[in-house]
Structure 1
Amino acid sequence: MPADLAVIGLGHLGLPLAQAAVASGIETVGYDTDGRTLAELTAGRTPVEGPLTAADIRRMLSGGFRTATDPAELGRVRTAVICAPTPLGTDLTLDLAAVGDATRVLAARLRPHTTVLLESPVPPGTTEHFLRPLLEEGSGLRAGRDFHLAYSPSRLDPGGRTHTYANTPRVIGGLTPACTESAAAFYGRLTDKVVRARGPREAEMTKLLETNYRHVNIALANEMAVLCHDLGVDLWDVIRCAETKPFGFQAFRPGPGVGGHGVPVDPGYLPYTSRTPGHPLRMVGLAREINTQMPQYVIQRCTMLLNEYGKSARGARVLLLGVTYKPDLADQEGSPAREIACRLMDMGAQIGYHDPYVPDWRVRDQPVPRADSLYEAAAGADLTVLLQHHRTYDLQGLAVKAQLLLDTRGATPVGAAHRL
């Protein structure tokens, strides 16, 4: 059965897009090479750490959403959106392998007049210099003449209740004005506002700016957290006061690290920059350095607290609360919890964890004991560390039960715990 839309890649980007499309009455097919993901979705279950609930998936299926394993399905749609993952590699560049694979599969089935869109976070220039040649060579068609090509950075707030797909403006940059308008016509069915960029590079750079903005400001908050602790200043109270300023200030809060799928990127490490100065963003590099040091800083605070109470990290029972990167979600992408657990294990500590969204957790391929009773586990642990503040946690009650509590999120009542 032909569909209007094909979503290629059913991860944290593709599934919310498919959900929004189905809700808008668009016949949608989802394509992915991960057989386990497809099996879970077809059965009405959410994939592991997926952004949607099982109830969301069932509503999508009842609304006509279906998955496909046959690439031929991609040649029967009017719009195809590539939502493949682009993780940061060891060389500090975004890995475009999955995007390339998805593009080649689509190119072999591409028909004239199709609108091809890319949502994956990519380096500026990717749509023009990486995607376009693959599509043209694989299809024999010309972008901007035979089919439309555009980039639109995904803007999602997983678990957020205020900023939905419909009320979040969507930025679009097409290869030609006609490409932009074709993309705008599609996204106009999903969102209340469409913002037209000058071209795909401007749209790609928009995503880069938004991601780097978040990481740079979190780095500032993390640096302030270390300084305020050394000076004996309550940073959380400082932030509370500062955010009353109605202009020129936006509150960012420190934490044990920066998680999430958006990674800070320095254009100095990007391809497709030969036509630009390409000088590095020193502030982005410094922000990355500061943020990657936070797990070690948490370990330092843990050992200092244990020492103050006459205990050693070696043999200490440490309970980690919340191992996901964001509250009230199962997604662990980029969460600092794993690194913190590894460092504690290296010091000889006995690690346990509790997270209402993560029934099983492994570190270094070894299962970490999960606390069945949170209060009993906190009472029996030498140190409890709050790494993520899920809504289900009663922090006031937890502070009473825990022998020693380190709050890395500033979520506990004043005086109830040691704060980052």
Structure 2
Amino acid sequence: MVHPENVANDNYNTKIGIVGLGFVGLPLALLFAEKGFKVTGIDVDNNKIEQLNNGISYLPDIPDSYLQRAVFLGNLVGTTDYDMIKALDVVIVCVPTPLTTYKNPDLSYLQLVGKELAPRIKNGQLIILESSTYPGTTEEVFQPMLENSGLKVGKDFFIGYSPERIDPGNKKYKVDEIPKIVSGITDQCLSKISTLYKKVFKKIVPVSSSRVAEFTKLLENSYRFINISFINEMAMLCDEMEINLWEAVAAANTKPYGFTPFYPGPGAGGHCIPVDPLYLVWKSNHYGIDSKMIRLSDEINDQISNYIVKNITNFLSEKEEKKVLVYGVTYKKDIDDVRESPAIKIISQLHLNGIGVSYHDPYVSKIKVGNKSYSSVNLTKTVLSETNCVLILTDHSEIPLENILEHAELVYDVRNVTNGLSGKAKIIRLGGGGQ
């Protein structure tokens, strides 16, 4: 951790505002505070603001002690009052950009922020957008909203775009160690954002336009989405061919070039991977181009969840009373994030198939699936022995495999965490070819 007292004093003179204090905004706010900037966090969620100002973290990646240092030193304060914008030199927007029910871009959060910012912008201010979005959003949507203030970009105030690269649960790279892509509407806008971000990130990567920066983010996530979907298609194929895909991937990974390993699972989740590529599909349609690869990946991403449910239904077909215990409902290990988690869809489908569902997740005490609420159960001997199948959807580090394998009747492992292990339970692995 960088101690504020060791940072150049000029950082104190630049007042930073972060709009949206979620998985992207809060780590970014803390990074700026850590580097010696005075940071104001703005969010419409009163509960978040109250917790922040009391030094209580609501994100698992951020310990209370880290938040308390920033808050109690006076480097970070939270508010719901947009009027604080008038006192800031830089405003960084980190609001959600989800999909509509028709899988089109939903910019409603961004549009609300734009309406709040426009009447409060002042001369010389730098406004930076970090939300993932389709190419052209910064220039075609965000800029016109802000210029409703009567001020002009590049002359009176400045706009930059820098796609977030936060990876919840990733302990290998700190936020400031991930190269930061930066862009600006004008050359002077790019200069302003570059000068600022050089003070907090170890490496910045300037690109020629906001459209390039926006596309870069979607390119990164589309690459992952396509490969995750591809490997899940291979898992379904290998099950039919009685080939162990996990072994094949390990063998292929010995090649020193030309292969990057991806692994089967219940489908892509989180705010980025299953969402951002569909922004690109929507935008490509405006140019008369059908992005077949991404559309097919989206279909396979839905298919793998259906495939898992179908298999479980078949496993339990002869059971009079069918009970499934799901281990892990977050979209990835060791976090508490259930956004776009395939577990939610799988639980819903199991319930609709007449299968009783319970779950355990050390990071999520309660979830709501449709109109039904669930609470995490304890993995006791009784609970496990009364369950027909334990479905492992998330490979949390603390998963009690010995306990599960000793007391469960059947384990359906879609993450290969039981590889090399045995117990009283029968084990079936997704992509294991029946092994």
TM over 0.5: yes
- 1:311 paired with 2:322, answer no
- 1:395 paired with 2:417, answer no
Counterpart of 1:101 in structure 2 is: 112
CA separation in 2, counterparts of 1:51 and 1:89? 28
CA separation in 2, counterparts of 1:303 and 1:197? 50
Counterpart of 1:293 in structure 2 is: 303
Q: Is the 8 A contact 2:105 2:282 kept in 1?
A: no
Counterpart of 2:5 in structure 1 is: none
- 1:330 paired with 2:339, answer no
Shift of the alpha carbon at 1:156?
1.1
Q: Is the 8 A contact 1:15 1:51 kept in 2?
A: no
Shift of the alpha carbon at 1:85?
0.6
> CA, structure 1 residues 84+51, in 2 after alignment: closer, same or farther (shift >3 Å)?
farther
Residue from 4, 8, 17 that aligns with 1:6: 17
Shift of the alpha carbon at 1:96?
0.6
- Between 282-291 and 97-106, the greater mean CA deviation after superposition: 97-106
- Between 88-97 and 147-156, the greater mean CA deviation after superposition: 88-97
> CA, structure 1 residues 388+268, in 2 after alignment: closer, same or farther (shift >3 Å)?
closer
Shift of the alpha carbon at 1:129?
0.8
CA separation in 2, counterparts of 1:15 and 1:178? 27
Partner-residue secondary structure (3-state), 2:412 = strand
Letter aligned with residue 16 of structure 1: P
- 1:25 paired with 2:36, answer yes
Shift of the alpha carbon at 1:362?
2.4
TM, length-normalised to structure 2: 0.90
Counterpart of 2:428 in structure 1 is: 418
Shift of the alpha carbon at 1:2?
8.8
Partner-residue secondary structure (3-state), 1:186 = helix
CA separation in 2, counterparts of 1:320 and 1:80? 42
Q: Is the 8 A contact 2:91 2:127 kept in 1?
A: yes
Q: Is the 8 A contact 1:51 1:329 kept in 2?
A: yes
Counterpart of 1:174 in structure 2 is: 184
> CA, structure 1 residues 301+56, in 2 after alignment: closer, same or farther (shift >3 Å)?
farther
Aligned length: 411
CA separation in 2, counterparts of 1:3 and 1:195? 22
Shift of the alpha carbon at 1:396?
3.9
CA separation in 1, counterparts of 2:310 and 2:225? 22
Counterpart of 1:236 in structure 2 is: 246
Shift of the alpha carbon at 1:43?
2.6
Residue from 337, 347, 350 that aligns with 2:356: 350
Letter aligned with residue 325 of structure 1: Y
Counterpart of 1:269 in structure 2 is: 282
Shift of the alpha carbon at 1:258?
1.0
Residue from 96, 108, 124 that aligns with 1:113: 124
Letter aligned with residue 300 of structure 2: I
Q: Is the 8 A contact 2:381 2:407 kept in 1?
A: yes
TM, length-normalised to structure 1: 0.93
Residue from 248, 257, 261 that aligns with 1:251: 261
Unaligned runs of 5+ in 1: none
CA separation in 2, counterparts of 1:11 and 1:373? 31
Shift of the alpha carbon at 1:58?
2.3
Partner-residue secondary structure (3-state), 1:334 = coil
Partner-residue secondary structure (3-state), 1:214 = helix
Counterpart of 2:292 in structure 1 is: 282
Partner-residue secondary structure (3-state), 2:127 = strand
> 1:335-386: CA deviations, max 9, x gaps?
1111111111112111111000111222223222432234442222111000
Letter aligned with residue 100 of structure 1: Q
Shift of the alpha carbon at 1:261?
0.7
Residue from 366, 370, 379 that aligns with 1:360: 366
Counterpart of 2:202 in structure 1 is: 192
CA separation in 2, counterparts of 1:109 and 1:115? 13
- 1:154 paired with 2:164, answer yes
- 1:203 paired with 2:209, answer no
CA separation in 2, counterparts of 1:92 and 1:398? 38
Residue from 351, 375, 384 that aligns with 1:378: 384
Counterpart of 1:123 in structure 2 is: 134
Q: Is the 8 A contact 1:260 1:333 kept in 2?
A: yes
> CA, structure 1 residues 2+218, in 2 after alignment: closer, same or farther (shift >3 Å)?
same
CA separation in 1, counterparts of 2:66 and 2:384? 34
Shift of the alpha carbon at 1:19?
1.4
CA separation in 1, counterparts of 2:403 and 2:174? 33
Letter aligned with residue 267 of structure 1: L
> CA, structure 1 residues 402+207, in 2 after alignment: closer, same or farther (shift >3 Å)?
same
Shift of the alpha carbon at 1:205?
0.4
Partner-residue secondary structure (3-state), 2:219 = helix
Q: Is the 8 A contact 1:351 1:369 kept in 2?
A: no
Letter aligned with residue 386 of structure 1: I
Partner-residue secondary structure (3-state), 1:173 = strand
Counterpart of 1:132 in structure 2 is: 143
Partner-residue secondary structure (3-state), 1:252 = coil
Unaligned runs of 5+ in 2: 1-11, 431-435
Q: Is the 8 A contact 1:260 1:335 kept in 2?
A: yes
CA separation in 2, counterparts of 1:152 and 1:15? 16
Q: Is the 8 A contact 2:23 2:166 kept in 1?
A: no
Identity level (%):
34
> CA, structure 1 residues 133+369, in 2 after alignment: closer, same or farther (shift >3 Å)?
closer
Shift of the alpha carbon at 1:124?
0.6
Partner-residue secondary structure (3-state), 1:293 = helix
